A and B are shown apart, each in its own frame.
Chain A
Amino acid sequence: RPVLLSVICHPPQNYPLYIRSVPTENELKFHYTVHTSLDVVDEKISAMGKALVDQRELYLGLLYPTEDYKVYGYVTNSKVKFVMVVDSSNTALRDNEIRSMFRKLHNSYTDIMCNPFYNPGDRIHSRAFDNMVNSMMMQVC
């Protein structure tokens, strides 16, 4: 069951800082999915400007009828977007679990930002981050 996570930089570049998927074939298709979902994310953020109470987004971003994937998004205060693509057949995955996965991602991302050897905007090459992502995805699949 393919699960893809990616961390995407804040505007105006919006290029991915980190992409991981399990299994690793079809990764290119996921890149496309993630890219289009970014537009949906931006839409949601601007729409939120009016009705604003809630903190982070957690939503069913896109659902491709043919492919059956669910896309979840999460945006931090520093405009960093996390996108997760899950196979629809994976109905065991509940909202809470997705939320906690995003929290973990956010926590690890914060740790990376505070790493003095990391330049903001670079691709993420941290082993700790990889380990966290791996263990998270093992739980899901």
Chain B
Amino acid sequence: MADEALFLLLHNEMVAELYRAAEQGEGENGRCTTKLESMGFRVGQGLIERFTKDTARFKDELDIMKFICKDFWTSVFKKQIDNLRTNHQGIYVLQDNKFRLLTQMSAGKQYLEHAPKYLAFTCGLIRGGLSNLGIKSIVTAEVSSMPACK
């Protein structure tokens, strides 16, 4: 992947721009998150196609999730997911303790409420990738303390 700073800046600007447009009456808060998420969705579809081009076939869902945590996350964010938990019934929790898109923000409580906006694109990314691999999913994110997120 090219220099990360480029994507980081672009992403932050994307989020800012969408919300600015919203304030001018073109849409409301919820819709911005949806737009970001759908952008991520389409990008995720293309990305996953490229990344799985040369990999072996996935055995099952868990295999796919591991792929997302390791190879996919490494290619996109240059690091792996720190923790993956599952209840083996279809729910997976991916924890990233130093999420790249949040590291540039201050670690205190100040921006906690704005953090989800910055996670929407990535949620879409995961959802798009999974959908192309044949898994329908709902991806949500929460931030309890910067820059970690689940």
Contact = CB atoms under 8 A, between A and B. Distances in A.
B49 interface: yes
Determine which residue in A79, A113, A115 has the highest number of CB atoms from chain B within 10 A of its CB, and name it.
A113
Contacts of A78: 48-49, 52, 132-134
B134 A109 contact: no
B134 A79 contact: yes
Contacts of A106: 53
B46 A76 contact: no
A76 B56 contact: no
Interface string A96-136: 00000000001101100111100010000000000000000
B59 interface: yes
B58 interface: yes
| Best-surrounded residue of B45, B49, B55, B59 (most CB of chain A within 10 A) | B49
Interface string A24-45: 0000000000000000000000
Interface string B44-67: 011111101101111100000000
Q: Most chain-B CB neighbours within 10 Å: which of A78, A79, A106, A109? A: A78
B52 A52 contact: no
Interface of B: 42, 45-50, 52-53, 55-59, 132-134
